Chains A and B, each alone.
Chain A
Amino acid sequence: MNAEVRAIKTSAEQALASAYEAARAALPGKGAVAALRDEAFKRFDAKGLPHRRVEEWKYTDLRALMRDALPLAAPADAAAKAKAKDAGKIFATLNCRRLVFIDGAFVPDLSDLTPERGLTVGSMADSLAKNDALIAAHVGKVFETDDAAVALNTSLMSDGAVIHVAAGTVLARPIHLVFASGETPSAAFIRSLIVVEKDAQAIIAESHESNASQVNCALELVIGDGAQVDYFKATQTRGLHVASLLLTVGAKAAFNTFALNSDASLVRNQSFVRFAGEGSTGGLRGVNLLRGKDHVDTTMLIDHAAGHCASREQFKSVLDGQSHNIFQGKIVVKPHAQKTDTKMMTRALLLSDEAEADNKPELEIFADDVVCGHGATAGALDPGLKFYLMSRGIDDKQAEALLIQAFIGETVEEIAHEGFREAIMRAALEWLETRG
């Protein structure tokens, strides 16, 4: 139950209100888009920043964590552009189409805009200004939610990617959205829309690297009937990163998402997923590597609104120092969604006595012919396993590294694409190597 208690506005909330007031006229999009912003801001303003009394945000109290709101990002300078060329290293070897964004703003001269049949790529700022048909049909409509972070994103959305993959198109290369940040910590409100039409196939990857910035990004992803989409998101930040995935899947479609958070100070990854057509399958997976005071919150709402769909949710976290990992997974099976098959599993590996892992699986099942399972574990490395490895000559650190690698490997191995599987494992191993 979410108690509606409105306290006096915090300084961050006041700053956001004045930022919206000041930027409102200059933000891209007039008419219907401006109305959408106003309406969203009204919703945000009524709720304020999410706090611990909002059940979905119980463990990530943004009102307390966000002391102040940073100013909106200024256009990228030459130094930021030079730095952005090296951003997104994690997926650099995969021959992707790179689309580069600095503090959320699209940078065409750093992006690969080579034409490809069936693919349309553009910037959200341009599309909002034109309020073209794709925007009118989808923005704010892919998964309607009263979540305050999404409302705030809709109010202040400035730029992002707009990608359309026409029916039957199989993209030749993965698309890599490279989100880099400038030197000056700022606030970015990034909104992207990706529509993969009927029977099309696409691989989309996002990498986020930022300093002390505050990033609120949202991706609306529409997967048409029979389409296949793989979506990867790798996040590194020394600031605050709130990401919302709003996803609707048609019939007989297949998708997989994979999130990697490593060296992520404060991250909230929330997913809102609706199975809207029968016979689709979806996998949501991720690995979180935390140390120091890192805080990573993975929260998802999976709405099985159509029958004969299967979903798999599997998340692993490794926690060192005083870090805090949160997993909240809610699966809803609607009354007519018979033959739904879901399995949710989260496991936390605690390397330190001071780390904290919270797991909250929730099932709301209104259909009677379904298979829904969930499990959650949290524990330390097995000393028996470690002794076994050490008795063979493997030292303490290497034994731990092997066991951690094995722990996350189980989830990484689920990635079908060899290149992405290896890239993610490599990034995880780099994190392990820098473990003190």
Chain B
Amino acid sequence: MLLEIKNLHVEVEDKKILNGLNLTIEKGQVAAIMGPNGSGKSTLSYVLAGKDAYNITEGDILLDGESILELAPDERAAKGIFLAFQYPVEVPGVATMTFLRTALNAQRKLRGEGEYSTPDFIKLVRETSAKLGVSQEHLRRAVNVGFSGGEKKRNEILQMAILQPRLAILDETDSGLDIDALKTVSEGVNRLRSSERSMIVITHYQRLLNYIVPDVVHVMSKGRVVKSGGKELALELEAKGYAQYTDEAA
């Protein structure tokens, strides 16, 4: 297995968000995590990426059997963890190309790999962005500045395609997308599916899972995984809602 989360307890400002969460992600697996608002889905994604301000009081997160709790976000990225943000931030003054290149070369350096040459890098970005419908003009602009919601999400998937993570966490990638943008983004994600890459797809609605079909579905409630099943579990949730699980967890 690639990722193993064991009995994870997390607090933010003395408020318990995750309460003994257990989760295993196999290599090459696409796992959907669904759950009502406030169930701790986004907290889980931030904790995996290493954002501070989260206090881990108990438990562990293992990547390839090794704990990553002590690693800084950039070290986790170099180990192959990538978080596609629910709300990608705008970075005024930093051109998208500069950002992508700095990130890619920083990761390669941490892994002891050589830096990309300028022509190779430009070629890589051109090809990848064309597939995702990201224009050259967007690449010249500052990261996410003046981008629409859909363009920001597309930019996240572009970064993912350039950085080639082993574990991608997509945090509500569908939120704020119209149906066309949802299709483009999903196609981008599906192209990146491989036996070497695992994905955690966090979503509130079943809709996204019509496009990105998961291998397994986990339901989160009150900071724990309360049910796991196949992709049909998502359809059941869509029909019946989350009430049964919130009650069960109470």
Q: A392 contacts B93, CB within 8 Å?
A: no
Collect the chain A residues with CB atoms within 8 Å of residue B76's CB.
Answer: 391
Take A394-B106, A402-B102 as given contacts and tell me if A388 and B77 are in contact as well, using a CB distance cutoff of 8 Å: no
Interface residues of A in 366-391 (CB under 8 A from B): 382-385, 387-391
Q: Mark B110-137, 1 if CB is under 8 A from A, else 0.
A: 1000000000000000000000000000
Given A387-B51, A395-B106, the answer on whether A405 and B93 have CB atoms closer than 8 Å is yes
Is there an interface contact between B73 and A390, defined as CB atoms closer than 8 Å? yes
Does A351 sit at the interface, judged by CB under 8 A?
no
For A390, list chain B residues within 8 Å (CB): 50, 72-74, 77
Asked whether A31 is an interface residue with its Cβ less than 8 Å from the other chain, the reply is no
A residues neighboring B (CB under 8 Å): 382-385, 387-396, 398-399, 402-403, 405-407, 409-410
Q: Residues of B contacting A395 with CB < 8 Å?
A: 72, 74, 106
- A413: nearest chain-B partner, CB-CB: B93
A394-B74 contact in complex given A387-B51, A403-B94, C-beta closer than 8 Å: yes
Complex-state Cα separation, A77 to B54, whole angstroms? 62
Residues of A within 8 A of B242 (CB): none
For B72, the chain A residues whose CB sits under 8 A away are 390, 395-396
The answer to whether B94 and A391 have CB atoms under 8 Å apart is: no
What would 5 more interface pairs be, CB under 8 Å, given A388-B85, A389-B91, A391-B83? A384-B89, A388-B89, A391-B51, A402-B99, A402-B102
Q: Residue B226 at the A interface, CB < 8 A?
A: no
A394–B85 touching, CB < 8 Å: no
Q: Which chain B residues have a beta carbon within 8 Å of chain A's beta carbons?
A: 49-52, 72-74, 76-78, 82-83, 85, 88-89, 91-94, 98-99, 102-104, 106-107, 110, 142, 159, 163
Closest 6 CB pairs between A and B? A406-B93, A393-B107, A393-B77, A392-B103, A390-B73, A409-B93
A410 to B106: give the CA distance in the assembly, Å: 25
Closest to B100 in A: A392
Please measure, in the bound complex, the distance between the C-alpha atom of A387 and the C-alpha atom of B89, giving whole angstroms. Answer: 10
- Per the bound structure, the CA–CA distance linking A395 and B94 in Å amounts to 16
Q: Chain A: which residue is nearest B159 at the CB level? A: A392
Residues in B neighbouring A391, C-beta threshold 8 A: 49-51, 73-74, 76-77, 82-83
Q: Which residues of A contact B110 (CB under 8 A)?
A: 393
Complex Cα–Cα for A385 and B103 (A): 14
Contact residues in B for A402 (Cβ distance below 8 Å)? 91, 94, 98-99, 102
Q: Which residues of A contact B93 (CB under 8 A)?
A: 405-407, 409-410
Q: How far is the CA of A390 from the CA of B50 in the complex (A)?
A: 9
Distance from A116 Cβ to chain B, minimum over Cβ atoms (Å)? 38
Contacts of B104 in A (CB 8 A): 393
- Complex Cα–Cα for A385 and B85 (A): 12
Q: Which residues of B contact A393 (CB under 8 A)?
A: 74, 77-78, 103-104, 106-107, 110, 163
Q: How far is the CA of A410 from the CA of B104 in the complex (A)?
A: 25
**With A and B bound together, what is the CA distance between A390 and B91 in angstroms?**
13
Report the minimum CB–CB distance from A323 to chain B (whole Å): 22
> Closest residue of chain B to A406, judged by CB?
B93
Q: A402 — nearest CB in chain B belongs to which residue?
A: B94
**Cα–Cα, bound, A403→B110 (Å):** 21
Q: Is the CB of B91 within 8 A of A394?
A: no
CA distance A402 to B92 in the complex (A): 10
Q: How far is the CB of A28 from chain B (nearest CB, A)?
A: 48
Question: In the docked arrangement, what's the CA distance between A407 and B93, Å?
Answer: 7
Kindly provide the distance from the CB of A120 to the nearest chain B CB, expressed in whole angstroms: 42
A403 CB → nearest B CB, Å: 7
Taking CB as reference atom, which chain B residue is nearest A405? B93
A404 to chain B, nearest CB (A): 10
Across-interface contacts of B51 in A (CB, < 8 A)? 387, 391
Nearest-Cβ distance from residue B45 to partner chain A, whole angstroms? 10
Contact B91 A385 (CB under 8 A): yes
In whole angstroms, how far apart are the Cα atoms of A395 and B107 in the complex? 9
A387 touches B73 (CB 8 A): yes
Q: List 7 A-B contacts (CB under 8 A).
A: A383-B52, A389-B103, A391-B82, A392-B107, A392-B159, A402-B94, A405-B93
By a CB distance below 8 angstroms, the chain B residues around A394 are 74, 102-103, 106
* Choice from B78, B92, B98, B103 contacting A410 with Cβ under 8 Å: B92
CB distance from A435 to the nearest CB of B (A): 17
